[in-house]
Each structure stands twice: as C-alpha cells, then as structure tokens.
C-alpha cells in the first residue's frame, strides 16, 4: 500500500471532481459516466449475458481508458483529427462510399475479428483491438457505420461489412476502419502507463465498480 504522503493532494482532486458530476478521474483526466453508459448500451444488445460493469471494464481497459488520456495530453492534435473525421462523417452521411473514403486514407483493407475464445471471458467481442470500436460494431448491422470514435489510435470511423450467421455473441465480424491518427507509439505507451498508475477519483459508485486489482492503492481512501 502506498504511503499517505503520496495522496496529500487527492482530497483537492476529489473535491474538483465532485463538480464534474458522474465519471472517473485518472489523474487530472476525466472520463464522463454518460459516455461510458452509451458505449455499454451499444455493446449490451449483442452481449446480454455480460453484466454492465463487466462490459464497462472491458471497453475501458480495452483501450478506451488510455484513449481519454492520450486525447487530453494531445488536445490540439486530437481536435484537429476530430474535425477531419467529422468532415469524413459528413461526406458519408451525404452518400459517399465508405470504401472510397477509406482508400483515400490508405486504410481500405478489411479487418477481421472473431467473437470467441480470447482472454478470461468466452466469447469476447474484443479481438478488434479497441473496446470502443467493438462496442460500436456490436450495435451495427452489415453495411452500417459509426463514428467518429475516440480510440487509442486517434479518431475512427468504422463500418461493419459482415457478421457470421450465428448468435451475435459468438459471431465473427469483418469491418473496415478509417483512422485519423493522434500521436505516435510512444504517446500511446505513456497513455497506457498513466491509465494503470495515476491516482483515481470521481464518482464513488463508478470507482467501486472497477476491478479491485486496478484501483487498489490508487484511491484517496486507500492511503
């Protein structure tokens, strides 16, 4: 357990978070609770056997938690990438073809991901390599797209190309993704490290839902 001196400033952080409402603070990086709930709701339709807390954790620890840190740390680059992604989304809404836009960014290669047999849960939807992308894809039908999505890679647009004709919670999927990158590999590494080490604060109910192994020694009351 960490020494009390490490947490002398945390009461101030907790007080500051109280004014933000529902969410989780990782250091001074804020993850809004309603955003977590929306992602969980998208995923829940395809994975009803999972509890909401388990889905929230899988999405956050599947890259979305570190993504909030990355985008905070590189705020100007993130905003520029988001604007570019929004322009592409507007073009899609206007009727342009997803594959054509993906080809413009040299990201038109379909990416596959199976929905079973990975990690401590089986089946799992997270072979796509991004918890937030997996949540969005879970709510899509073939041909539909979603985004822009904040991910550890940057801002993404994703299109579901195909889903195997088996129950959705076991179905392999094929997707096409457009990624407007934010930062580089070292930035992502630092964001993941921060996600796993910075002090935690925010909504007590949210914090209690996180796995004990993740929050142990990182809360003000643990000092």
Domain boundaries along the sequence of the chain:
28-197
Give the H or E element holding residue 188: helix 185-197
Query: Tens digit of pLDDT for each residue in 23-33?
Result: 999 999 999 99
Residue whose token pair is 């993906």: 102
Strand, helix or coil for residue 157: strand
The whole model's pTM is what? 0.82
More confident: 89 or 45: 89
Q: pLDDT at position 220, please?
A: 63
Do residues 159 and 168 touch, judged by C-beta distance below 8 A?
Answer: no
The answer to whether 70 and 192 have CB atoms below 8 angstroms apart is: no
* Sheet order of strands, 145-150 included: 111-113, 173-181, 154-163, 145-150
**Which among 158, 154, 181, 150 has a CA at the least distance from the CA of 101?**
158
């Amino acid at each position: 357990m960490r020494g009390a001196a490490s947490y002398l400033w945390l009461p101030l952080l907790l007080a500051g978070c109280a004014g933000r409402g529902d969410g989780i603070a990782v250091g001074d990086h804020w993850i809004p609770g309603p955003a977590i709930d929306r992602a969980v709701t998208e995923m829940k339709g395809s994975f009803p056997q999972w509890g909401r807390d388990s889905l929230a954790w899988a999405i956050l620890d599947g890259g979305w938690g570190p993504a909030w840190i990355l985008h905070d740390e590189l705020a100007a680059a993130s905003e520029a990438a988001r604007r570019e992604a929004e322009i592409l989304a507007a073009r899609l809404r206007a009727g342009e073809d997803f594959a054509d836009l993906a080809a413009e960014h040299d990201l038109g290669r379909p990416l596959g991901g199976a929905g079973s047999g990975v990690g401590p849960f089986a089946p799992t939807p997270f072979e796509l390599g991004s918890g937030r992308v997996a949540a969005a894809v879970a709510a899509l039908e073939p041909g539909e797209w979603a985004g822009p999505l904040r991910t550890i890679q940057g801002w993404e647009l994703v299109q579901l190309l195909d889903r195997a004709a088996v129950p959705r919670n076991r179905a392999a999927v094929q997707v096409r993704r457009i990624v407007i990158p934010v930062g580089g590999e070292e930035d992502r590494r630092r964001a993941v490290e921060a996600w796993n080490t910075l002090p935690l604060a925010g909504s007590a109910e949210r914090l209690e839902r996180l796995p004990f192994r993740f929050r142990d020694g990182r809360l003000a009351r643990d000092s």
